[in-house]
């Protein structure tokens, strides 16, 4: 459903949110290790997230990555849009370039309701909620 980059981006943001709760900045190496992602690929993803102001990067000995705002204010939809764009919210389930209410693909009507439900979940789920699950050991990043 999400691209591999988006999957890693979501996991990285959850990890950074989890660490930010303790006031920690995290290094690229720590992030890549925590989410089991190649460092070079993770670096590109983090650059995209920084470009969209979801992350701040600080250089130097005490540097690393931290959230650009409170974890409760960052919804999953913003992360998905920063990495994969909005096609997941509007695209055809079968990948047709032209699929609409007027000219639907065979799964259009069923897929549209699933897509709308996914969008609603992404727009109402914050990083804070997800990092709390990691914090108490109910959810895992790898």
Average pLDDT rounded to a whole number, residues 108-115: 94
Predicted local confidence at residue 116, as pLDDT: 94
Residue with tokens 């990890």: 15
CATH topology of domain 4-135: Arc Repressor Mutant, subunit A (1.10.10)
Instruction: Judge whether residue 1 has pLDDT over 90.
Output: no
Quote the pTM value. Answer: 0.92
How big is the CA angle at 46 (ends 41 and 52), to the nearest 5 degrees?
A: 135
The rounded distance, in Å, linking the Cα atoms of 9 and 105 is: 31
Give the integer Cα–Cα distance in Å for 92 and 100: 8
Residues 4-28 have a mean pLDDT of 95
With bands split at pLDDT 50, 70 and 90, how would you rate the model's confidence at 25?
Answer: very high
pLDDT value at position 62? Answer: 87
Beta bridge pairs of residue 64: 58
* pLDDT > 70 fraction of the chain, expressed in percent and rounded: 100
């Amino acid at each position: 459903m999400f691209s591999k980059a988006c999957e890693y981006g979501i996991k990285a943001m959850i990890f950074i949110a989890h660490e930010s709760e303790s006031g920690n900045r995290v290094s690229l190496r720590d992030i890549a290790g925590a989410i089991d992602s190649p460092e070079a690929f993770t670096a590109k993803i983090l650059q995209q997230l920084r470009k969209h102001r979801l992350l701040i990067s600080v250089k130097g000995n005490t540097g690393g990555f931290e959230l650009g705002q409170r974890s409760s204010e960052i919804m999953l939809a913003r992360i998905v849009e920063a990495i994969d764009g909005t096609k997941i919210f509007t695209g055809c389930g079968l990948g047709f370039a032209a699929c609409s209410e007027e000219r639907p693909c065979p799964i259009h009507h069923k897929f549209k309701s699933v897509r709308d439900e996914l969008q609603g979940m992404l727009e109402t789920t914050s990083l804070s909620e997800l990092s709390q699950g990691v914090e108490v050991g109910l959810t895992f990043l790898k």
